[in-house]
Structure 1
Amino acid sequence: MTATASPLHLRLPATSANLGPGFDALGLAMAFYLTIDAVAADDFHIEARGRNADLCGDAGNSLILTTYASVLGANGRPVTPLHLDLDNQIPLGMGCGSSAAALLTGVLLADHFGDIGWTDQQILEEACRREGHPDNVAACFLGGMTASSEVEGHVVTATCGKNLAWSFFVALPSASLATEKARALLPPSYSRADAVANVQNTALLVSAFALDRGDLLRTAMQDRIHQPYRMEACPLLPRLLPLAGSRGVLGVALSGAGPSVLVIAESGAADALPGIIRAAAGDPGLEIIQTTIAGGAFVQR
C-alpha cells in the first residue's frame, strides 16, 4: 500500500495472564489501554504521552515499529514510514500485557499499511507466534476472560465474562520484572499432584467467569505451577494472598509473570479495597489501578 493509505486508529486493553492456575492459557482484558493513531509519513516518528512516554516514544527502539517492519519484510511488503500518536496507560514490565499490546499493534499496523489482507484469526496467530504464548495476546485481541490453546500452529480460543460486575485492582510495586527473568525461576518439570491441582483449579476458574460464581475464586485462583517459584522476586504476592476470602476479596493472583498482583473483589467492596490492599502490603504509597473487564481491541480504519 502506498503512502496514501488511510489512517488507522487502535485501542488495545491491558491484560492479566494466568489468573493463578491458568498458566499460559488464560488471560483477562482490563480497561486501561494503549491507544494509537497512525498515519503514513516521510520518516518514522512517535509522539508519546502517558506512562513511560520516554520509552514508548523512542522510535529507534520500539517493539511496535520493530514488529511492524518485521511482519512487512516477512511478507514481501515495502516498509512505509509511520507517524504514531501514542497514549499509553499500560505499565511496562509489570505483568500487565504491555508487550502483547505492542506486538499486536505492530501486526495490525503491518496488515493495514502493507495491505496484507489477513483475517482476524491470522492476525491473532501471527501476534501469538511472536509473543511465544497466546494468553495475553488472545485476551488483548478478543477481550473478556479468554482461554486459549495452540494446536498444530493454530490458536483456539473461547471468551466469557465480559459483563461481570466484579471489581478488579492491580497493585503495582515500584520495581519491574522482565518476563524472561520470571520464566527462568520456574522448574523444568512438575509432580503429577501439582499438575492435577492446577487442572482442577483452572476448570473451576473458567466456570467462575462463565457462570458469575465469584464464590469459587478463592479456591480457583490457587496455583502450584508458577506462583510459588516467583514469590521471592514478587514479594507483594505473599503479602496479598491472605486477603482472598475476606473483606470482600474473592481471589488474588500474580498479574501475568508479576511483579504486579491482581485482586478481584465483590463490587460492593470496591471503595474500601485500596486501603485494605495498602495495609496488607505495608506500603501506604502503593500504586493501585482500579479497573473493570474490557472488551477486545478496537480497530478503526
Structure 2
Amino acid sequence: MLEIKVPATTANIGPGFDTLGLALNVYNKFYISEIDKGIYIDGCDDKYRNENNLIYTSMKYFYNKINPPKIPTGIKIKIESNIPLSRGLGSSATCIVAGVVAANILSDSNLNKYELLKIASEIEDHPDNIAPALLGNMVVSLIDDGNIYYDTIKIPNELSFCCIIPDFELSTSLARSILPNTIYHKDCVFNISHSTLLVSALLNKNFDLIKIACKDKIHQDYRGKLIENYYDIVNMSYDLNCIGVFLSGAGPTIMSIIKDDDINFIGEMKSFLESLDNRWILKKLKCDTNGTIVNVI
C-alpha cells in the first residue's frame, strides 16, 4: 500500500495569477493500493466514491497518456483529508498529484518529477497549485509551447501564513467566470511589476515591500465581490500590521502574511472574525519545504 502525503497550497499570491504558488504545512493523506478488480474509495462523501473521483480519473489519465505495460486491475483508495474543499487551498491539486504519483508507482513507469508535473498540470490546466504540491516551497511556474518551466523560492523562516477560512465554499468555475475577458495594458504592467517585486522582496527579505507587492489588478477585486466581508478582513489585516494580504487561489480563503514575532495579530484577528456574520477560522501555517512524500506501508 502507498501512503501519499500532499501539502495544501496557496496560489496566485496576489499579482502572480496562475504563475505563483506556495506549499503549506497542512496535508491530505492518500492510501492507495492495487486490488483484484473494481474500485473502492473510502474517506470522502458518497458523491465522490465512484469512477468520477478526481484521484481515480487522474490515475486513468496517466495510464491513457503513458500506456504502460502494467496497469492495476483494481484500485483501493482511502482518503484522510485535512484540507477543506473549495476554499482556495489546493484540495483538488492534492488529489491530482496523489493520483498521478500512485499511477506512476503502481505501473512501474518510473517517470521523474518533471514528467509527473507535466501530466498533473495537464489535468489541472495550469501548474500554479500542482508545482508546489509536488515539489514544496514557493514555485514560479509557466507553460511555454507545451513545456513547463519552473523555479523554486525559499520562503524566509521567520514568515508565517495566516489562513482565514470561511464556512462557505466558492467554486473555482464561478470565480473564473467573473474575470474579464480583456485586460488593459496598464493592468498587465501593474501585475508584472508587482509580481516581480514580490519575488525579489521575498528573496532579499525586504518585508516592507510585500504589502505593496501583493496588490493585483487581474483577479482579486473581481473575486472579492463574491466573498462576504472580504474587504473588511483585508483592511483589518493591514490595521493589525501584517506585512501582506492576498486571496488564496480563487478564494474564498484570505491569506495574511505575518512575522513569527508578531504576538498580537492572531488574537486580535480572531476577535474581529467573531464579530462577523459568517463563521471564519484562522490557521497559522508555515511553508512546506518537502512537497509530496510517498511511503510504502
If the length of structure 2 is used for normalisation, what is the TM-score?
A: 0.91
Give the gaps of 5 or more residues in structure 2.
none
User: What does the per-residue CA deviation read over 1:25-72, in whole Å, with 9 as the maximum and x for residues that have no partner?
Assistant: 000101111112222113422332xxxx32696244410011112321
Paired residues of 1:125 and 1:154 also in contact (CA < 8 A): yes
Paired residues of 2:34 and 2:72 also in contact (CA < 8 A): no
**Separation in 2 of the partners of 1:125 and 1:274?**
41
Paired residues of 1:239 and 1:281 also in contact (CA < 8 A): no
**Separation in 2 of the partners of 1:259 and 1:280?**
14
The two structures, once aligned, show a CA RMSD in angstroms of 2.0
The letter for the 1-side match of 2:74 is: P
Q: Mapping of 1:78-157 within 5 angstroms?
A: 78-157=71-150
> How many positions carry a matched residue from both structures?
291
**Separation in 1 of the partners of 2:268 and 2:128?**
30
Are 2:284 and 1:293 aligned? no
Out of 21, 34, 39, the position equivalent to 1:40 is 34
**Separation in 2 of the partners of 1:40 and 1:271?**
50
Query: Offset at 1:85?
Result: 3.0
User: What does the per-residue CA deviation read over 1:143-187, in whole Å, with 9 as the maximum and x for residues that have no partner?
Assistant: 111110111111111111245221211111121111111111010
Aligned equivalent of 1:160: 153
Structure 1 SS opposite 2:244: strand
Greater Cα shift, 267-276 or 166-175: 267-276
User: What does the per-residue CA deviation read over 1:73-119, in whole Å, with 9 as the maximum and x for residues that have no partner?
Assistant: 33334343222232111111110001111111111111111222211
Out of 163, 171, 190, the position equivalent to 1:197 is 190
CA 188–276 in structure 1, closer or farther in 2 if over 3 Å, else same: same
Paired residues of 2:164 and 2:280 also in contact (CA < 8 A): yes
Out of 173, 176, 187, the position equivalent to 2:166 is 173
Query: Offset at 1:139?
Result: 1.2
Aligned equivalent of 1:25: 19
Give the gaps of 5 or more residues in structure 1.
1-6
The letter for the 2-side match of 1:75 is: I
**Separation in 2 of the partners of 1:265 and 1:244?**
10
| % identical aligned pairs | 30
Structure 2 SS opposite 1:82: strand
Aligned equivalent of 2:268: 275
The letter for the 1-side match of 2:200 is: S
Aligned equivalent of 1:13: 7
The letter for the 1-side match of 2:280 is: L
Greater Cα shift, 244-253 or 134-143: 244-253
Out of 24, 43, 55, the position equivalent to 1:64 is 55
**Separation in 1 of the partners of 2:263 and 2:230?**
20
**Separation in 1 of the partners of 2:267 and 2:89?**
18
Structure 2 SS opposite 1:24: coil
If the length of structure 1 is used for normalisation, what is the TM-score?
A: 0.90
Query: Offset at 1:209?
Result: 2.1
